[in-house]
Structures are given as structure tokens and as C-alpha cells.
């Protein structure tokens, strides 16, 4: 069954967004590992549970589990980009 023009376009948009997200991830990892001078322009928000955060986390990250988001939202800075992350299985 051949792909329709709409299918091809939908796939193009999907993979374009996926590649953009992967590139952003790699840029972030590079900043955290190698360019500490620019890390201050964003805040890493670790949305895992407190137990997992206590065991290991990225230096400088703040722990904001989803269940506590409403209570902690006012404490997050508004002058920097917030970059959230959680468990990853890739």
C-alpha cells in the first residue's frame, strides 16, 4: 500500500520535530558537561521522585516531582528557561 501525500507530509513533520528535539538534547548535554559558563541561562528541573533525585541527579538540577508542581511553581525562576527531564530508557 503506497503512502499518500498526506502520510508523507505527516511523517516529514514528525521526524523534523524529533530531530530538532534530539539536537536540543545534545546541546543541553554539551552545556552541562562542557560549558558551565552558559549553564546559568536555564534551570534543569528534575521531575523524578525525591528518592530517585536523592540517589543521583545532574549537578545544579532542582527536584520538582509532578505531585509537588503546584506548590513549588512559585519558587521556580521566571527569568531563565526551564528545562525539564525525567527517566529515560533509550
**CATH number of domain containing 66:** 3.40.250.10
Number of domains the chain is built from: 2
Q: Is the pTM of this model over 0.85?
A: no
**Does one domain contain both 49 and 64?**
yes
For residue 90, what pLDDT is reported?
Answer: 44
**Does one domain contain both 66 and 26?**
no
**Does one domain contain both 29 and 6?**
yes
Give yes or no for residue 69 having a pLDDT over 80: yes
Residue percentage of the chain with pLDDT more than 70: 90
Q: Cell numbers of 37, please? A: 559558563
Cβ(44)–Cβ(83) below 8 Å:
yes
For residue 88, what pLDDT is reported?
Answer: 60
**Does one domain contain both 29 and 46?**
no
Q: Which domain holds residue 5?
A: 1-35
pLDDT tens digits for range 21-56: 777 777 777 777 776 655 567 888 999 999 999 999
**Does one domain contain both 31 and 58?**
no
d(CA 62, CA 84): 10
Amino acid at each position: 500500500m503506497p503512502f499518500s501525500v498526506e502520510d508523507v507530509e505527516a511523517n516529514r513533520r514528525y521526524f523534523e520535530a524529533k530531530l530538532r528535539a534530539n539536537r536540543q538534547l545534545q546541546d543541553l548535554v554539551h552545556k552541562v558537561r562542557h560549558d558551565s559558563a552558559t549553564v546559568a541561562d536555564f534551570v534543569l528541573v528534575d521531575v523524578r521522585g525525591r528518592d530517585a533525585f536523592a540517589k543521583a541527579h545532574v549537578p545544579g538540577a532542582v527536584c520538582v516531582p509532578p505531585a509537588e508542581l503546584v506548590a513549588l511553581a512559585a519558587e521556580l525562576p521566571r527569568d531563565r528557561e526551564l528545562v525539564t527531564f525525567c527517566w529515560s530508557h533509550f
